[in-house]
Amino acid sequence: MNPIRQIAFYLTAVLFSACLIQGEMVWISEYSGKRMPAEQNDADLFQEYQQAVEAVWEELEWFPIPLSDTNPRAEVTFENSWLAERNYGGMRQHEGTDLMAAIDQAGYYPVISITDGTVEQIGWLEKGGWRIGIRSGNGNYYYYAHLHSYASEWKAGDAVQAGELLGYMGDSGYGPEGTTGEFPVHLHLGIYLPLGADQEKAVNPYWMLRYLESRKLTYAY
């Protein structure tokens, strides 16, 4: 087993152990329950879950917010808010991780791609504001939301390399196009696994981000 796969296995095991208190067993049950006999045990569920997310772990390259080479205050923090309640547009669950800016200034922090991939979605969403969606070679979808602006005139089909500048962290969303200031500046990162034709399921990015904390590029900002 190569080092990345060993790390993936270990961190996925930690994730699975946390399922009981983080509500992720619900995800696993929804993902596999309809296709698995009732007598199958947690070990079987773990194996299936591991296989589903292994490709994500193997394609991760960089933390989405680079270090600043000029401002030590330019930090970000994040917590495990997986499936926490959100109420804009009706009650729903939080399918991602929010990286909060220590400096609450839209357009200050660069946002980079954590993987290689291809631009699939670009533009405004009511809940996500200015967002960009990257599809990896393994078919996983990486969703970067609430941006202030884009670094390039991205369009669907553009190739993206891990570490490439996508745009800048902002506070856009929760309203008609152009709405800003409804919440503090942050990046919402979502990761979605393909589950067949036109079906996807969110996976908790928190543990991936914990791993990527040791893999940060440095930018001048």
- Of the pLDDT bands very low, low, confident and very high (cuts 50, 70, 90), residue 2 is low
Q: Do the Cβ atoms of 120 and 133 come closer than 8 Å?
A: yes
pLDDT at position 44 is 65
pLDDT at position 191 is 96
16 pLDDT higher than 70: no
Q: Among positive and negative, which fits the CA dihedral 19, 142, 214, 51?
A: positive
Which pair of structure tokens corresponds to residue 24? 């992720």
Residue 72 vs residue 40, higher pLDDT = 72
107 pLDDT higher than 80: yes
How many CA atoms are closer than 13 Å to the CA of 67, on its beta-carbon side? 9
Most confident region among 33-47, 89-103, 204-218 by mean pLDDT: 204-218
Closest CA relative to residue 24, chosen from 12, 11, 33, 15:
15
DSSP state of 49: H
- Of the pLDDT bands very low, low, confident and very high (cuts 50, 70, 90), residue 37 is very low
Q: Spell out the domain ranges in the chain.
A: 3-59, 67-219
Q: Cα–Cα distance between 125 and 176 in angstroms, integer?
A: 8
Q: Which of 105-109, 194-198, 201-205 has the lowest mean pLDDT?
A: 194-198
Question: pLDDT digits over 145-163, tens only?
Answer: 999 999 999 999 999 999 9
35 pLDDT higher than 60: no
212 pLDDT higher than 70: yes
pLDDT at position 99 is 98
Looking at domain 67-219, which CATH architecture does it have?
Distorted Sandwich (2.70)
Which pair of structure tokens corresponds to residue 72? 């030590």
12 pLDDT higher than 90: no
Question: pLDDT digits over 46-57, tens only?
Answer: 665 566 678 899
- Ordered alpha helix ranges (H), the chain: 3-22, 24-32, 42-59, 206-212
Record the pTM.
Answer: 0.80
| β strands within the chain, DSSP E | 67-68, 76-78, 85-86, 92-93, 97-101, 110-112, 117-125, 129-135, 141-150, 159-160, 165-169, 186-194, 200-203, 218-219
**Residue 90 CB neighbour total at 10 angstroms:** 6
